[in-house]
Amino acid sequence: MFPTRRSYNTNPNFSENFRGEIVEPGTTRYEELRLLFNGQIDAKPSLILLCRGVSDVCEALDYVRTNDLEFVIRGGGHSVAGRSTIEGGVVVDLREMRSVRVNPAKSQVSCEPGATIGDLDRECSLFSLATTGGIISCTGVAGLVLGGGLGWLMGRYGLACDNLVSATVLLADGTIVEASESHNRDLLWALRGGGGGFGLVLEFTLQAYSLGKVYCGSTIFDFSDASRVMTAYAEFVETASDDLTLDCVLFTDADGSKRIAIDGCFSGENTSSDQTIDRITNLPGSISNDWNWQDYWKFQRSNDDDLREGRRSYWKSAYVRHFNRDFVDRVIAAFESVPSVHTIFTFDHLHGKVMEFDASTSSFGHRDCKNLFLINANWNSDLEDADNFRWVRNTYTDLGFHDTDSSYINYLGSDESGRDGVAFDPGVRKRLSEVQRKYDKKFLFSRPISND
């Protein structure tokens, strides 16, 4: 059984050794720090320990362990499901530990656990390097890598987790170990997309690649063309080269009109090596075609305004195994009734190098399906909560998905903590449970992973 921990109890010795900030309820600072990216998550922790260095993190872990307190770790704070906060427990907040170090000789980049992918992209760009990450720059590297990490370079280089070369990890017993190909290889494997919960990662080292500009952009169509565009998109994801990663987004424009877009990022040398971009831009009926060569790190910031911090969010996702006419029709009908102009439907394009890695190298779940569908619902007011939650759940069912369908752990919603199993095959789940029992015997960092 999962041990029940006591509620907050001040340790008088604690603050002496702690260089960071101890943030208690009842202060403006607390109100500011307790919030996550998803404004709908409203948990009130008993204490927030804002760490400034490794010794602070060790102090914090020692404190929660000694006092038998429930706690969570916070990296970038982007977990839409709210996994980096806890009602009545302690938040070990790493958001001020953001330094990044590039090693050009090894083409590697190392960062502290509060770094964002924007931090990583910018530092790498100064050495004409890039590593594969997510598509919104304020997303934390920590949760992204520990859960998988889909991004624009994945066709060419794999997921962010596949590129985790090594990690420095604080274990439940207070020891600090390296997880790499030569040390604690099973732990490295689990950290590569297994969803976290094996220890607290103090440093991530990722493989980087020589990359300057990318050819990227978007072709937008009126919603009346959605059927044709989605059907074409389903074909493009099959034919695109590994250098070209696409996505398809259904959204509402600033003037209130519904639209559909095919976006993409080409990271090869010469666009003539892939006809897909021409085929996208030549699809009849486009409203706009905006593709050009851009610095990769700048392109990585271009979508930041679309998903704004503090909005209320609820996500539901699944891999699409039958991208057929019936599915397309249902998606279009569902989006017709979307209750919020901020809600989008997205299709992520898993392909190329993503499919070359496997369960022997990374614990990331499903690599057998190219299309991952996400209902990314966003709205502004708590008065709209009930309508939006209901609509997302009904839409998910109407589209033919079930809660048992496979999905991506980083895209699970706030009421889906019991659904982690759908992110992994049973064999991987069993191995993750073994690694957890080896490195976190008393389940300090997370609940026991069931292996059935």
What is the binding site for ligand FAD (CB under 6 A)? 37, 72-80, 83-84, 94, 113, 134-136, 139-140, 142-144, 146-151, 196, 200-201, 307, 410
Helix (H) or strand (E) holding 63: helix 54-66
CB nearer to ligand FAD: give 361 or 414.
414
Specify the pairing of strand 47-50 against strand 90-93: parallel
CA angle 250, 417, 201 (to 5 degrees): 95
Least Å from the CB of residue 113 to ligand FAD:
3
Least Å from the CB of residue 296 to ligand FAD:
14
CB nearer to ligand FAD: give 325 or 438.
438
Query: Alpha carbon of 187 to those of 30, 166, 275: distances in Å?
Result: 34, 10, 41
User: Packing angle between helix 226-239 and helix 325-336, nearest 10 degrees?
Assistant: 130
CB nearer to ligand FAD: give 153 or 328.
153
CB nearer to ligand FAD: give 147 or 236.
147
DSSP letters for 172-189: TTS-EEEESSSS-HHHHH
Query: d(Cα 97, Cα 113) in Å, to the nearest integer?
Result: 6
Among the listed residues 108, 156, 112, 161, the one whose alpha carbon sits nearest the alpha carbon of residue 133: 161
Query: d(Cα 119, Cα 102) in Å, to the nearest integer?
Result: 11
CB nearer to ligand FAD: give 39 or 283.
39
Residues composing the chain: 452
Answer whether 181's CB lies under 8 Å from 157's CB. no
CB nearer to ligand FAD: give 102 or 136.
136
Answer whether 51's CB lies under 8 Å from 93's CB. yes
SS3 92: strand
CB nearer to ligand FAD: give 78 or 259.
78
Instruction: Count CA atoms closer than 13 A to 389's CA, side-chain side.
Output: 12
Least Å from the CB of residue 94 to ligand FAD:
6
CB nearer to ligand FAD: give 148 or 352.
148
Least Å from the CB of residue 270 to ligand FAD:
26
Least Å from the CB of residue 38 to ligand FAD:
7
CB nearer to ligand FAD: give 139 or 286.
139
Least Å from the CB of residue 304 to ligand FAD:
8
Among the listed residues 163, 188, 177, the one whose alpha carbon sits nearest the alpha carbon of residue 108: 163
Query: d(Cα 316, Cα 403) in Å, to the nearest integer?
Result: 9
Dmax (CA) for the chain in angstroms is 70
Least Å from the CB of residue 246 to ligand FAD:
14
CB nearer to ligand FAD: give 77 or 158.
77
Instruction: Read off φ and ψ for residue 332, nearest 5 degrees.
Output: -65, -45
Least Å from the CB of residue 243 to ligand FAD:
18
Question: What are 89's two structure tokens?
Answer: 């427990």
Least Å from the CB of residue 251 to ligand FAD:
14
Least Å from the CB of residue 256 to ligand FAD:
23
Helix (H) or strand (E) holding 277: helix 276-281
